[in-house]
Amino acid sequence: MTKIDSLDTSILKLLQENGKRSYTEMAKMLEVSEGTIRTRVNRMLNDKIFEFIIHMDPNKIGLQVQAIIGIATKLGYQEQVANRLNQCKEVRFVGVFSGRHDLILQAYFKNNEALVDFVNEELAQLEGIDTVDVSIELKQYKDSFSYIANGEEHHEYVEENS
Amino acid sequence: MTKIDSLDTSILKLLQENGKRSYTEMAKMLEVSEGTIRTRVNRMLNDKIFEFIIHMDPNKIGLQVQAIIGIATKLGYQEQVANRLNQCKEVRFVGVFSGRHDLILQAYFKNNEALVDFVNEELAQLEGIDTVDVSIELKQYKDSFSYIANGEEHHEYVEENS
Amino acid sequence: MTKIDSLDTSILKLLQENGKRSYTEMAKMLEVSEGTIRTRVNRMLNDKIFEFIIHMDPNKIGLQVQAIIGIATKLGYQEQVANRLNQCKEVRFVGVFSGRHDLILQAYFKNNEALVDFVNEELAQLEGIDTVDVSIELKQYKDSFSYIANGEEHHEYVEENS
Amino acid sequence: MTKIDSLDTSILKLLQENGKRSYTEMAKMLEVSEGTIRTRVNRMLNDKIFEFIIHMDPNKIGLQVQAIIGIATKLGYQEQVANRLNQCKEVRFVGVFSGRHDLILQAYFKNNEALVDFVNEELAQLEGIDTVDVSIELKQYKDSFSYIANGEEHHEYVEENS
Amino acid sequence: MTKIDSLDTSILKLLQENGKRSYTEMAKMLEVSEGTIRTRVNRMLNDKIFEFIIHMDPNKIGLQVQAIIGIATKLGYQEQVANRLNQCKEVRFVGVFSGRHDLILQAYFKNNEALVDFVNEELAQLEGIDTVDVSIELKQYKDSFSYIANGEEHHEYVEENS
Amino acid sequence: MTKIDSLDTSILKLLQENGKRSYTEMAKMLEVSEGTIRTRVNRMLNDKIFEFIIHMDPNKIGLQVQAIIGIATKLGYQEQVANRLNQCKEVRFVGVFSGRHDLILQAYFKNNEALVDFVNEELAQLEGIDTVDVSIELKQYKDSFSYIANGEEHHEYVEENS
Amino acid sequence: MTKIDSLDTSILKLLQENGKRSYTEMAKMLEVSEGTIRTRVNRMLNDKIFEFIIHMDPNKIGLQVQAIIGIATKLGYQEQVANRLNQCKEVRFVGVFSGRHDLILQAYFKNNEALVDFVNEELAQLEGIDTVDVSIELKQYKDSFSYIANGEEHHEYVEENS
Amino acid sequence: MTKIDSLDTSILKLLQENGKRSYTEMAKMLEVSEGTIRTRVNRMLNDKIFEFIIHMDPNKIGLQVQAIIGIATKLGYQEQVANRLNQCKEVRFVGVFSGRHDLILQAYFKNNEALVDFVNEELAQLEGIDTVDVSIELKQYKDSFSYIANGEEHHEYVEENS
């Protein structure tokens, strides 16, 4: 497995605070050269340790209804169903989980009608689904992508490429 | 509510394909001036329609265990519990939902032990939790942030600032 | 128990088709005197067999969210909780039922936020509630008050007051 | 969407107290002309904001057993099943809901036998039902149609047509 | 419906204490003639208000395992399944019930193996069973047939045939 | 443990067909002396292998509502709760069972109101009950006490007292 | 049934403390001859009262994921499914149980992927499985094979073969 | 982590077939010296990769009832409850699991009464248990400790100490 060291971690931490931070600023903050930052960032991008994305507010682009949907598939259909769900634009997340529902998804819809249509039309076309259990989001408290906590990185390290 | 028009939608769609796309490139692709792109992006950032973030692969930064946790709070404690969960670094997402579990969270952990500690130590300190039901992710199929489907934007529009 | 005969049933059937039907019209349709209709209607109103009400469309008066809420009360608190729910304006219906949730209610809310507030503030103030399970209406198919089917009434009867 | 103003709300509130209130009485109470009341009522009836109905006491017309029935339909059959249930005279209410049972109905029956027949004969003829879960009402606390609370309307307004 | 009066009730109460009580003894205790007792008992037997039976202790005749079994039938098969269960010697009781399991049975078996065979062989031959949920009795506290409580009968009555 | 032989079994079988069968009749049918029948019956009564009881039809003595009630007791209260339930006249049967509800009871009530009162008043006074789940009987198919099947007894035996 | 006496019990107790204990050591500890120990051990092995096995630590031989899996089989397929599961190397334990899942298994896997493959490939090939519910072990507290508690054996006995 | 090579695996495989196999026999079968076998076995015992134990048949030593018990602990009590269960002689296995029951145990009892006592006395003394769900084993199909499948080991290797 690709290892990340404490400099990598420090860079990730600065970028999770602000995805637009410049190499120059990070170099100054971490007291390394801008080239080092660039090398590290490029290596981590190559290793798919992170990617630069935009995170839209679903409500503000007209997606008013968020649901978490538990699906129990018929034995032998899990992979096929998951792959098809993967291609549905409404679906943000699909995973296989322990418990009664072997697939759990998060999905966004314009309104309740679009959700009902998704279940009755899109899901109904997928062979291999046994039961569907829809939970509607009533209020959101957190939707963050900052996985690295304060104090987890270590600032003492030697500049590598010097 | 802030409205987004078809140019906004086109810009978002290009950025969700590639969060690092330059204004120049987008201006060329959408046949508008770079200034227009800049104006639109800045307005959408101000309106918190989207933000630039980095999305890390949890496994590659050492978070091997992902869980979806359903929590039933005691009546009257939901907001307080949600606010405290909001501050836990392990928690990526918290929402109030319909159904048996009024709070559902997604969280990432280094390993099973860290998950068990989270439940027994962090959750146990929060007053007002009745039951906790942990589902472990066994395999991930999709974790995308592309909410805008092909064909949803309209390319015919008039350049605004011209 | 108050008995209703076939003339009563015929009158109820005409009124359930149209709550504004005049005594004159019903008298003609049922071939009895207007006085008979008036006597029967008044007796049935006195016996609380029916009442004249207005039925509003919740969506059109700004109540966008309908929920069916199952509540399990602590033993001994059922009556007290039901009586308090009875007084909540959001609650249209409360009954004691068989099964896991001893109380089931139907309630209408302006939006999800009002529903969340109802649970966290109004319900939280009622002593004696163990668990709350909220189901959100996604689409409505029928909300009718016509309990008498075609063919259930019998038209052969003798005018009483003649 | 049709908007209702505070005079509409005041009229609805008076009618929900008493569905037989005369225009004259309401005009006096709200200090507007009878013509204004009539215009408003007719507009609201046209806009299907409310209707005049009779509400029968199910027990008093011989319907002794009330049930709330949760139905899980097979994927793709929800609409068809809901439409058929819509036509059953025993069914007062049908809606699509979040949770384990995608359809929830309220229905009234003469006795337990009629309920058992409804499940075994009427429901059994509908293709596409997976599971049926019957809850029997043991005691009723509230069955109201007054959705507008005291203090929600505002009495200060200008007569429109004057 | 057949009515039972307070003398009937008193006789039932004496018989539920001791199913072998003689008419002579009951006549003396209730201060009526032996003929009256005989007449009443015969009428109640004819009306199937009660019957004389023997109640065996299942353990003592070699039935070591008692189970309560919840069965969910496929829609339309309930009656047929119930009638077939009716004929199984292991089954003491079958009824249609509200809730997730539309049929509930009580049954006695020689041992766990006989119970497993009952499920896998006898139940498996009945078309129309969806799910089976077996609960095993671990300890019995009460198995009584005395439905009439002390103080429920009234001793003041007039001898009928006198 | 008391053993029963094939003659005992034959006697029990005749009595379960008809609890009023005379010793003379049974002696003739089984080709043994009446004294042998009497001895066997008395020994079985002494050993509490069976008892003579009357079995009343609950509906015909005015008990219209039958319920199976699952109760989950708080740890340590099971025995105490079961003993108290044992003394409730409404309760026909109480046992400790495997599964989610550690106690299951069968009980009979005059009507739904009496059932609701039983739960809210009698059960509410018993310390140590966590949850109560009521299932209402909608239709009864079998309530038999014949545990011995045809062909289970063996007719070849030697008269003991000869 | 084979009976074990207190000397057998004492021997089993010494062996459950240490499966490699020599006959000489046990003979000294229990104050009987080594031949007696040998005779007893051999008889118990013949009677399959115990066997000498090795117990591997699953984690240390590369089996990182332990699951308890509840399976509901279709009626009539239980035995066949259980026999097939019996032959799966991943499965350590299979039994028929009371409750919603008629089969419960314990199984060990290299990693989550192997568990997902087991469900989707091995289980999917077994005809007759309705639902599968996987619980993942997060932490182990006890996995012992010492069934005989201190104080259960009695040391006073007479040497048998002397 | 301690690594085991293919010779270790081969030795474990021979011992899981027969826990009493001699070093001489294994040496011959694997074509290595007896000293090599001894060294390997001792290292694996030191590393706690396996241990020699006896596996008793619970039924044959008088433990007639096996149960799998799901326990939901109150938040913060899981570790304490698990540690106490660890010390109960009836408990063979305890683990923390995903799902509704955070602790799952396997336990053996003399009879149903001992199981009921375990729940009502031993478990009732442990502070911090919310709910207990007992599943009774009705039939056992597999209880094996052979984790290494045929074909997993590799026989080509070089003797290490030569």
Neighbors of chain C with 3 or more C-beta pairs under 8 Å: A, B, D, E, F
Chain G contacts of F99, Cβ < 8 Å? 98-99
Calpha distance D9→D148 (Å, rounded)? 8
**Residue C155's pLDDT is what?**
35
User: Across all residues in chain A, what is the average pLDDT?
Assistant: 88
Q: What is the pTM of this model?
A: 0.90
Residue F144's pLDDT is 77
pLDDT digits (tens, 9 = 90+) for D87-134: 998 999 999 999 999 999 999 999 999 999 999 999 999 999 999 999
Chain B nearest-CA distance from D95, in A, is 16
Neighbouring residues of C117: CB distance < 8 A, sequence distance ≥ 6:
none
- Compute the distance between CA of residue A129 and CA of residue D17 in angstroms, rounded to an integer: 49
Between H156 and F37, the higher pLDDT residue: F37
Under 8 Å CB pairs connecting chains B and C tally to 30
Element of type H or E holding B66: strand B65-73
Whether A62 contacts B118, CB under 8 Å: no
Which whole-number Å values give the CA distances from G78 to A75, C127, E120, in the listed order? Answer: 16, 47, 7
Task: Kindly determine whether residue F98 and residue H134, on different chains, have CB atoms separated by under 8 Å.
Answer: yes
Which tens digits make up the pLDDT trace of G110-143? 999 999 999 999 999 999 999 999 999 999 998 8
Distance CA G59, CA G110 (A): 9
Q: How many residues does chain D have?
A: 162
Distance in Å, alpha carbon of F35 to nearest chain D alpha carbon: 50
Per the DSSP assignment, residues forming a β-bridge with D134 are D69, E99
Task: For residue F116, list chain C residues with Cβ-Cβ distance below 8 A.
Answer: 78, 96
- Whether D154 has a pLDDT exceeding 60, the answer reads no
CB F96 within 8 A of CB E137: yes
Residue pair B17/A51 in contact (Cβ under 8 Å)? The answer is: no
**Residue E159 in this model has a pLDDT that exceeds 50:** no
Name the burial class of residue E148, with classes exposed (0-12), middle (13-18) and buried (19+) by CB atoms within 10 angstroms of its CB: buried
> What pLDDT is attached to residue E80?
95
Give the DSSP letter of residue F24.
H
Pairing of the two strands B103-109 and C129-143? unpaired
Residues of chain C contacting residue F124, judged by C-beta atoms under 8 Å apart: 75-76
Considering only CA atoms, give the Rg of chain E.
21
Q: Is C29 on the interface with B (CB under 8 A)?
A: no
- Show Cβ contacts of residue G127 under 8 Å, excluding neighbours closer than 6 positions: G77, G80
**Over residues A33-52, mean pLDDT:** 95
pLDDT score, position H162: 34
Segment H13-23, tens digit of pLDDT: 999 889 999 99
Structural contact between residues F108 and F55, judged by C-beta atoms closer than 8 angstroms: no
pLDDT at A113 over 60: yes
In the numeric block, the tokens 């991943």 are attached to G90
Cβ neighbours around G20 below 10 Å, total: 14
Q: Which band of pLDDT confidence, cut at 50, 70 and 90, is reported for residue B159?
A: very low
The nearest alpha carbon in chain G to F97 belongs to: G98
Closest CA to E11 of E160, E135, E148, E162: E148
- The average confidence (pLDDT) of chain H is 88
CB G144 within 8 A of CB A96: no
Q: What is the Cα–Cα distance from E16 to F89, expressed in whole angstroms? A: 13
Pick from B109-113, C43-47, E144-148, F25-29: least confident: E144-148
Task: Indicate contact of F with A: 3+ CB pairs under 8 A.
Answer: no
Which pLDDT value is given to residue D148? Answer: 67
CB D87 within 8 A of CB C75: no
Lowest mean pLDDT among D34-38, D65-69, D155-159, E112-116: D155-159
Instruction: Give chain E positions within 8 Å (CB) of F54.
Output: 12, 15-16, 19, 50-53, 145
ipTM value > 0.95:
no
In chain B, the N- to C-terminal Cα span, in Å, equals 26
Nearest to H52 by CA among G59, G58, G20: G20
Please give the pLDDT value at position H78.
96
For residue B144, the model assigns a pLDDT of 78
Minimal C-alpha gap between D138 and chain F (Å):
5
CA distance H94 to H106: 7
Query: Of A47, A143, A149, which is closest to B93 when you measure between CB atoms?
Result: A143
Nearest of H157, F52, F131, C50 to residue E19 by alpha carbon: F52
User: What are the structural domains of chain E?
Assistant: 2-54 (1.10.10.10), 58-136 (3.30.70.920)
Give the list of residues 6+ apart from residue A131 with CB closer than 8 angstroms, or none.
Answer: A71, A72, A101, D72, D100, D130
Return the structure tokens found at F56. Answer: 């009343």
pLDDT class for H144, splitting at 50, 70, 90?
Answer: confident
Interface test with F, best of D68, D139, D140, D141 (most F CBs within 10 A): D139
Q: What is the mean pLDDT of residues D46-51?
A: 94
What digits encode the pLDDT tens for the residues C53-103? 999 999 899 899 999 999 999 999 999 999 999 999 899 999 999 999 999
Q: Is C104 on the interface with E (CB under 8 A)?
A: no
Partners of residue C96 in chain F, C-beta under 8 Å: 116
Contact E124 G96 (CB under 8 A): no
Shortest CA distance from G97: residue in chain F? F98
Q: C26 — phi, psi (to 5°)? A: -65, -40
- How large is the average pLDDT for residues A27-32? 96
pLDDT in tens, B101-144: 999 999 999 999 999 999 999 999 999 999 999 999 999 998 87
pLDDT at F95 over 60: yes
Of F154, F106, F89, F148, give the one whose Cα is nearest residue E55.
F148
pLDDT at F62 over 70: yes
Q: Chains contacting E with at least 3 CB pairs below 8 Å?
A: C, D, F, G, H
Which has more confidence, F83 or E159? F83
Chain C residues in contact with D138 by the CB 8 A cut-off are 95-98
CA-based nearest distance C1→chain B, Å: 41
Interface contact flag, H136 E136, Cβ < 8 Å: yes
Question: Are chains A and E in contact at 3+ CB pairs closer than 8 Å?
Answer: no
Q: Tell me the pLDDT of chain G averaged across its residues.
A: 88
Question: Given this model, what pLDDT does residue D2 score?
Answer: 61
Cβ within 8 Å, pair D133-E99 = yes
What is the per-residue burial (b if ≥16 Cβ within 10 Å, else e) of F8-32? bbbbbbbbbeebebebeebbeebeb
Per-window interface: C 39-98 vs A, CB < 8 A: none
- For residue C159, pLDDT over 90 is answered with no
- Identify the helix (H) or strand (E) that includes residue C43: helix C34-46
Assigned token pair, F11: 């006697």
Mean pLDDT in residue range D19-35: 95
Residues 107-136 of E with CB under 8 A from D: 130
Q: Which of B75, B83, B97 would you mutate first to test chain C, the one with the most C CBs within 10 A? A: B75
Contacts of H48 (CB under 8 A, 6+ apart): G57, G60
pLDDT score for D48: 93
Q: Please determine, for residue G80, whether its predicted confidence score (pLDDT) is greater than 90.
A: yes
Question: Does residue F151 carry a pLDDT above 60?
Answer: no
Touching H (3+ Cβ pairs <8 A), the chains are A, B, E, F, G
C148-151: Cβ within 8 A, 24+ apart: C148/C9, C148/C12, C148/C13, C148/C16, C148/D56, C148/D61, C148/D89, C149/D89
pLDDT of residue F89: 86
pLDDT score, position H21: 93
The residue written with tokens 């029967």 in the block is: C40
Residue F2 pLDDT exceeds 90: no
Find out whether C93 and C105 touch, Cβ atoms under 8 Å. Answer: yes
Contact check, Cβ <8 Å, E133/G100: yes
End-to-end, the C-alpha distance of chain D in Å comes to 26
Q: Is the pLDDT of residue E49 over 50?
A: yes
CA distances for B47 relative to A108, A143, B158, angstroms: 20, 17, 22
Question: Which residue from E115, E134, E138 is facing H115, i.e. has the nearest CB?
Answer: E138
- Identify the band that residue B147 occupies on the pLDDT scale cut at 50, 70 and 90: low
Residue pLDDT, tens place only, B73-92: 999 999 999 999 999 989 99
Residue whose structure tokens are 């993967």: A86
Count CA atoms within 13 Å of residue D118 on its CB side. Answer: 26
Give the pairing type, strands A103-109 and B50-56.
unpaired
Q: How far is CA H64 from the centre of its chain?
A: 20
- Rounded to whole angstroms, how far apart are CA atoms F42 and F31? 18
pLDDT band at D137 (very low <50, low <70, confident <90, very high): very high
Q: With cut-offs at 50, 70 and 90, classify the pLDDT of residue H2.
A: low
Tokens of F82: 């079961």
Provide CB contacts within 8 A for D11, sequence distance 6+.
D26, D30, D37, D40, D41, D44
Query: Rounded to an integer, what distance in angstroms lies between the CA atom of residue B35 and that of residue G83?
Result: 71
Asked whether the predicted pLDDT for residue F130 surpasses 60, the reply is yes
> Can you give the pLDDT at residue D93?
94
Could you tell me the maximum CA-CA distance found in chain G, to the nearest angstrom? 61
Going by DSSP bridges, is the β-strand pair H91-97/G129-143 parallel, antiparallel, or unpaired? Answer: antiparallel
